[in-house]
Homo-oligomer: A and B are copies of this chain.
Amino acid sequence: MNDILRQTADFLLSHDNFDILTHAYPDGDTLGSGFALCLALRQKGKNARVITTNIPNDFTFLQENITEQSFETETVVSVDVADEKLLGSNREKYEGRIDLCIDHHMTNKIDAPLRCVDGAAAANCEILFELFKLMDIEITRDIANNLYTGISTDTGCFRYTNTTSATLRAAADILDIGCDSAYINKVMFETKTRKKLALEREVYDTMEFCFDDRCAIIAVTLDIQKRIGVGDGELEGLASIPRQIEGVQIGITMREKEPGVFKVSVRADENVVNAAQFCAGFGGGGHAAAAGCSVKGSLQEAKQQLKDAVKEVL
């Protein structure tokens, strides 16, 4: 991994005019990676911008000090993107054009000339922190906030099984440099809007247990979303609910994106079920403990497809 990191640092230092790609339905790690890399490259006198799709409200503070830049794209880097399919509305423009992919998904499928992929890193921002050391980047407060957001959100604030001692030490170093961890933790992990509270109560009512209570499924229909008036921001974090119930080995959260299309988040006890493999069966992907996919059909049809697949793996 050290050789690859060195090569990646050299690549970044010797190129310019960067488009940095993040994945669709962006989370803290892809956005934190994107903005941190953008700030680092600009510190080195380069042009760089982050290509995103709708950024949830909670994350808008990450790009506070990033001004617009106009330039002709020369170099395309993807961060925390496991597959070009996950580029969403930016896919068409950038497919086949990625020069460097920096990612921590073992299942990464991007066929870029330079690939910096470390499946052992809990967050992509952990890889960037190492890269920045090699690139001699001064970790400013803005960079630190982005890195901390990526690392903390992808580890559930250090509670998921992907957390290693390296993760904790990276976070410790970032705290020492100075970052707004109290604010970030509060916003990411300790704040529930009134709407989210209402949403949770509704969602609890949809919870269905099956296969001897080893599987739990919740569904957030468009009807519920409309009734409570919640957007993407409030829907984050629901995915962890079913898996948290005692005895549940696979927790499934179905979120209706448009009539008849469900975005499905799967959280699994990786000793029993591999969530990434499970989701791959529906054209999705992710990690062993947390993955996602899309399923089409009515609520009942989509749920039945998922249950059939659960039956196979439990």
Contacts and interface: CB of A to CB of B under 8 A. Distances in A.
A172 interface: yes
Contacts of A246: 191-194
Interface string A175-190: 1100001100100011
Given A192-B244, A204-B197, A246-B192, A164 B175 contact: yes
Given A191-B246, A201-B204, A159 B161 contact: no
A159 B190 contact: yes
A195 to B, nearest CB: 9
Contact of A165 (B176, B185, B190, B200): B176
Contact of A172 (B168, B197, B240): B168
Size bin of chain A's contact surface: 35 or more
A168 B167 CA distance: 9
B182 A172 contact: no
A18 to B, nearest CB: 31
Number of this chain's copies in the complex: 2
Given A192-B244, A193-B246, A165 B175 contact: yes
A309 interface: no
A141 to B, nearest CB: 15
B159 A197 contact: no
Given A168-B168, A190-B244, A246-B193, A158 B158 contact: yes
Interface in A231-265: 240, 243-246
A243 to B, nearest CB: 8
Name A's interface SS.
Answer: helix
Contact of A185 (B159, B176, B194): B159
Nearest to A198: B204
A163 interface: yes
Nearest to A167: B172
Contacts of A240: 190
Interface in A49-81: none
Contacts of A157: 156-159
A301 interface: no
B159 A165 contact: no
Chain B CB within 10 A, most for which of A161, A189, A246: A246
A173 interface: yes
Nearest to A189: B159
Given A152-B159, A192-B246, 10 more contacts: A157-B157, A157-B158, A157-B159, A158-B168, A159-B189, A165-B172, A165-B173, A169-B169, A190-B240, A201-B201
20 contacts: A157-B159, A158-B158, A158-B159, A158-B168, A159-B185, A160-B185, A161-B182, A161-B185, A165-B172, A168-B175, A191-B246, A192-B245, A192-B246, A193-B246, A194-B245, A194-B246, A197-B204, A197-B207, A200-B204, A201-B201
The 8 closest A-B pairs by CB, nearest first: A168-B172, A165-B172, A165-B175, A157-B159, A159-B185, A158-B158, A161-B182, A168-B168
